[in-house]
Structure 1
Amino acid sequence: MTQTKTPYHHGDLKAAIIKAASEMLDTQGIEALSLRKIAENVGVSRTAAYHHFKDKNELLSAIASQGFIKWQKEIGLIFNNKRISQSQQLSQFCHAYIQFAISNPNIYDLMFGRTLWKNNVSSEELKSVAYPSFDYQVTMTKFWQAQGLLPQSENALRLAQVLWGTLHGISKLVLDGVYTDNSNIIEMCDCAIAMFVGSKR
């Protein structure tokens, strides 16, 4: 008797495609990604893949969205940890940001790089998770200001943007191979934290 492959449910196939695409992105880079190849890896027709993603950019946006969801969970664990001080929260957040970039280089580049944002090809799904993720950082910045940890005289949005820009800059230096010594990376992150905290008055 011939065995037939169990068909994917509607939601299962979309998740399977994103998972396969994320793995291919991680091992082969963005240039290797195509809906045709991914459909073959998943074991479905290209038409089935296009039913969920109209083009490569929409698929890349979905991968980036999953990255933001993963990152949001990580920082949520830090911000909601009542057993550590506010200064430890800030420190852990900064170190976690850079570690996330190092651990997920290709997805990180999608989340914050020019591929999706430069030419405004990011999907509404991506925007719906990316913008709230930064809003959460702004909220935490206001909290740290209220606690006297960060300078209260600065606009919270601008301060959050500058902190983010600092961490992003360090992350890119690491991902681009400019810095490879882990001790240097840790010290740079600690220096950035000290500068922000030290300028609170």
Structure 2
Amino acid sequence: MTNVKKTYHHGDLRRSLLDEAVVMIDETGFDAISMRKLADKVGVSRTALYHHFDGKPALLSALAEDGFVRFTAELQDNARLARREKGDSSVSALHNYVACYVDFAVENAAYYDLMFGREIWKTAQATESLKEVAYASFKTFVDTVVDWQQDGLLVDDVDALRYAQVAWASLHGLSRLLIDGIYIEQAARASMIETMALMISQCLARPE
């Protein structure tokens, strides 16, 4: 029986390759994925695949870049919503942001592993495009911290950059523990998110 290749409209193949690759990584891990296996999964020739990615490092960088775009968009939407809802307390606003960060990380673990994993950064294989998107994502978080200060959620005499670095590390640490299965109880996850938001609010809230 002849193996009929799938056909794609112009521009669809790259998206299909990225979508299939993240599924493969989620199921089998980074080491098991290969350009040949990906081409076979999607149903195209390796030549067609190499028109979009010149090798596995470029593919992984593109996946991480895609993850950062989605991640940043969700966090920005959350922050904008919090600013519109001025009636929310500082604890509520920060809780929603922490929950948004952690939920994205846990529910998109394959993306998150690539975005912050050693497979790309430790091996110095990040593309310039990925570096730009990753930096822009963190810059957005710094801007969010500045907004929190302006809205009175945090004191304004704390350096926004340093605060963002430490807060990001805390969010990342909690997310990694959940992704790696160290913490597995849903009730504990919700409680830790609430506690982190409370700590941020109490430690850096404006004095009454």
Same fold (TM over 0.5): yes
- Aligned equivalent of 1:141, options 137, 145, 149: 145
Q: Residues 49-103 of structure 1: CA distance to partner in whole angstroms, max 9, x if unpaired?
A: 1121111111011111111121122112212222353733322110111111111
For the pair 1:12 / 2:26, whether they are aligned, the reply is no
Q: Which has the higher helix share?
A: 1
Tell me the C-alpha RMSD between the 2 structures: 2.0
How far apart in 1 are the matches of 2:45 and 2:67?
A: 26
Written as runs of structure 1 = structure 2, the 5 A alignment for 1:1-201 is 7-81=7-81, 82-83=84-85, 85=88, 87=90, 88-200=92-204, 201=207
Unaligned segments of structure 2, at least 5 residues: none
Does the CA-based 8 Å contact 2:68-2:137 persist in structure 1?
yes
SS of the residue aligned with 2:31?
Answer: helix
Q: Go from structure 1 to structure 2 and tell me whether the alpha carbon gap of 1:58 and 1:161 turns closer, same or farther (over 3 Å shift).
A: same
Corresponding letter in the other structure for 1:45: S
Does the CA-based 8 Å contact 2:53-2:59 persist in structure 1?
yes
How far apart in 2 are the matches of 1:141 and 1:131?
A: 16
How far apart in 2 are the matches of 1:111 and 1:135?
A: 15
Corresponding letter in the other structure for 1:34: S
How far apart in 1 are the matches of 2:80 and 2:44?
A: 41
SS of the residue aligned with 1:116?
Answer: coil
Does the CA-based 8 Å contact 1:86-1:144 persist in structure 2?
no
Once the two structures are aligned, what percentage of the paired residues are identical?
Answer: 42
**CA drift at 1:116:** 1.0
Corresponding letter in the other structure for 1:30: F
Corresponding letter in the other structure for 2:96: Q
* TM-score w.r.t. length of structure 1: 0.90
* TM-score w.r.t. length of structure 2: 0.87
How far apart in 2 are the matches of 1:116 and 1:24?
A: 17
